[in-house]
Chain A
Amino acid sequence: MRCTIITDKDSPKSGVYTSRRDALKAGAVIALSMVLPAGVKAEAESGKRWAMYIDVSKCYGCYACVTACAAENNVPIGVFRTWVERHVIGEGTTVFVPKQCNHCENSPCVAPCPTGATYRTKDGLVLVNDELCIGCGACIQACPYGARFFNPVKGVVDKCTFCNHRIYNGKLPACVEACPTGARVFGDLNDPSSPIANLVSKGSSQRLKTWTGAEPMIFYRDLPSEANR
């Protein structure tokens, strides 16, 4: 929840509203900001389509992204918002494949949620409203990517949010910021001048399990078929 706090400094006359209309306006702003989830407000005017591009050939399995994510989002030990798979392909070549929630265009996890706790924002983020999650596990079972889990501390289902508390403040997701080789690129797919839009538009990227029809928003380069099951 994002809540607008009016301090003495912000208020027109040291905490005293100039007119009844101002007071009503301020009240409406406060009420709206308490009702709407933060993501919904921010995206309303943004028109973005958040996505990530992962260059598998640049990942050497340092797990900095996993650690940064856990630290940033208080992810308990044993469960993961992002993880790095290690695959040995061909004649012994080791490949590291970072994975996480794909924030799919046709998210298979959204429809099964019985209470609407899992929802899509206009910017394409797939998020969980902790207040509505009854913990039925339907979304965990529905996700073809194993990206969801029960957070034993929060007591509800948890997953990657693309660090939505950071990206609307001009920061990158923690995993992207921590990556030492720049294997992860994050940005707005709707912005033709963004690096991710350029990378994806080249057309050589792959996505995980396209046969599910989920249309994931994480694009890979050099993805081995072993990692796509």
Chain B
Amino acid sequence: MYPYGYMYPNEYAEPIVWLPTLFAYSLLISGADLLILALLAFLFNKLRKAMPMLLTLGLAFFTVVLLGPLADLRNPDRATLLFSNAQIVPSEQHPGTSMIALMGGLMWPLGWVLALLFILLYFSYPMHLKYLATRNPLYKVLSLGVSTPERFRAIKPVMKVVAAIALVPLAFWSIYPATLFVMQTGLFAWRNWTLLPIMYFADVFVTATAAAILAAWISDRSRLQQLDVASLITIHGGGAVSVAAILVIQLWYWKNVFGTTDYYVSLAPLIRWSYVAIGLFLLTFALSLVSMRYLSLSIIIPFTGFAATVVNKWNAIIRAQEIVRSGMTYLQPTYNLSPELMVMVGIISAGVFLAIVLTSIFPLEVKNHDY
């Protein structure tokens, strides 16, 4: 029996098309956004002590980021077509540019190569020092021949250029898949979620800094000051209050546009959970303020930050799909989440594993930053 207000039987047959993307995008992309934070900090000469950690974690998560959408493909064996047949240049048969192809087939490889190049340059001289200490030939290769402080200083302008260019594809990624949802879908909630890309961008700074703060605690809790955790907390709190504010504006907008219509009623579950997300973001903001004074409390922030992000993105990705495209009703489909959770945990684990590998190669502490 179709519910009242239901018009499209194919939508009823499969209401949730994209599911594993929840964790893939909310955590991996935000993890990858550590790279944005690191590159911005490099360009403005901030967060020097946290830089190695931000870069290695960011590269690790950005490397595995496409595993999320890969898990959603019905024909993952054809995934390479995304690169070989990327629908980026419009033609008569395929007018328009595919957001998925643009991000997966162009921006991801571009951003990844540029980020890797920057990281190799950034760690070049430190790797030479590591080579001198260990005589491991791998470190000599990774030093790229930068064996003196003078040479390291000489490549700094190159690093700045690479950082500035890399920010372009990474910035595109920071608001993805919100851009896809808003621009290239016909679902009611997404088409009317005007501030979704902006919210995703603000969320970058919440999740990325949460990951960085957590990593700082795991790596060495006695050196929180040295790892610029106080600065990270400031950004984290600012990001949290921004996302909360954007959500409030969006809810106000919906109320004004849809009033007491059926459309607004169908949005009700989404709105209800938005209030929970707002509460969690505000709690994160308040805890950030307290943690700036009492640094030892900062261990709580990543968890409230992650919780806020997960609730918010579950809302934006999953609940939004449950509102039918006619905007007349809200479905509550039953789906078996346990296999999906395994996929999500697997993807996150791949990122964490790669982060461990990278942090064992690249030093988490780079001394004398101004060689």
Contact = CB atoms under 8 A, between A and B. Distances in A.
Contacts of A137: 17-18, 72, 74
A141 B87 contact: no
A119 B93 contact: yes
Given A108-B186, A149-B10, A119 B94 contact: yes
B184 A155 contact: no
B185 A141 contact: yes
B14 A149 contact: yes
Contacts of B326: 229
Interface string A214-229: 0000000000000101
Contact of A85 (B7, B72, B180): B7
B73 A138 contact: no
Interface in A108-147: 108, 110-116, 118-122, 132-138, 140-147
A112 B18 contact: no
Given A114-B105, A119-B93, A142 B86 contact: no
B218 interface: no
Contacts of B96: 110-112
Among B98, B100, B187, B328, which residue has the most Cβ atoms of chain A within 10 A?
A: B98
B74 A111 contact: no
A9 B90 CA distance: 44
A78 interface: yes
Contact of B98 (A106, A113, A132, A135): A113
B133 interface: no
A118 B85 CA distance: 12
B95 interface: yes
A53 interface: no
A78 B15 CA distance: 13
B325 interface: yes
Interface in A91-109: 106, 108
Contacts of B74: 134-137, 150, 155-156
Interface in B312-349: 325-328
Interface in B275-327: 325-327
A5 B99 CA distance: 41
B93 to A, nearest CB: 4
Interface string B94-136: 1111111100110000000000000000000000000000000
A11 interface: no
Task: Report the contact-size class of chain A (Cβ under 8 Å from the partner).
Answer: 35 or more
Interface in A42-83: 78-80, 83
A93 B11 CA distance: 26
B7 A116 contact: no
Contacts of A147: 10
A120 B7 contact: no
A194 interface: no
B104 A114 contact: yes
Contact of B13 (A136, A145, A149): A149
Q: At the interface, is chain B mostly helix, strand, loop or mixed? A: loop
B10 A116 contact: no
B78 interface: yes
Contacts of B90: 111
A229 B95 contact: no
B363 interface: no
B73 A115 contact: no
Categorize the interface residue count of chain B: 35 or more
A114 B177 CA distance: 14
B75 A156 contact: yes
Nearest to A97: B7
B94 A132 contact: no
A120 B10 contact: no
**Interface hub of A85, A110, A138 (most chain B Cβ within 10 A):** A138
Given A134-B73, A146-B7, A229-B7, A114 B325 contact: no
Contacts of B168: none
A142 B186 contact: yes
A184 interface: no
Which of B8, B79, B97 has the most chain A CB atoms inside 10 A of its CB?
Answer: B8
Contacts of B82: 114-115, 134
Nearest to A37: B93
A111 B97 contact: yes
B176 to A, nearest CB: 13
Contact of B86 (A79, A114, A156, A212): A114
Nearest to B263: A229
Contacts of A115: 78, 81-82, 85-87, 101
A126 to B, nearest CB: 10
Nearest to B101: A114
B72 A136 contact: yes
B9 interface: yes
18 contacts: A110-B94, A111-B90, A111-B94, A111-B96, A112-B98, A114-B85, A119-B93, A132-B85, A134-B73, A140-B17, A141-B184, A144-B186, A146-B8, A146-B10, A146-B11, A148-B10, A155-B74, A155-B75
Interface of A: 78-80, 83, 85, 106, 108, 110-116, 118-122, 132-138, 140-150, 155-156, 212, 227, 229
Given A136-B69, A149-B13, 20 more contacts: A106-B95, A111-B184, A112-B98, A114-B82, A114-B98, A114-B105, A116-B85, A116-B94, A122-B92, A132-B85, A134-B76, A137-B17, A138-B100, A141-B18, A141-B185, A144-B186, A144-B325, A149-B10, A150-B14, A229-B327
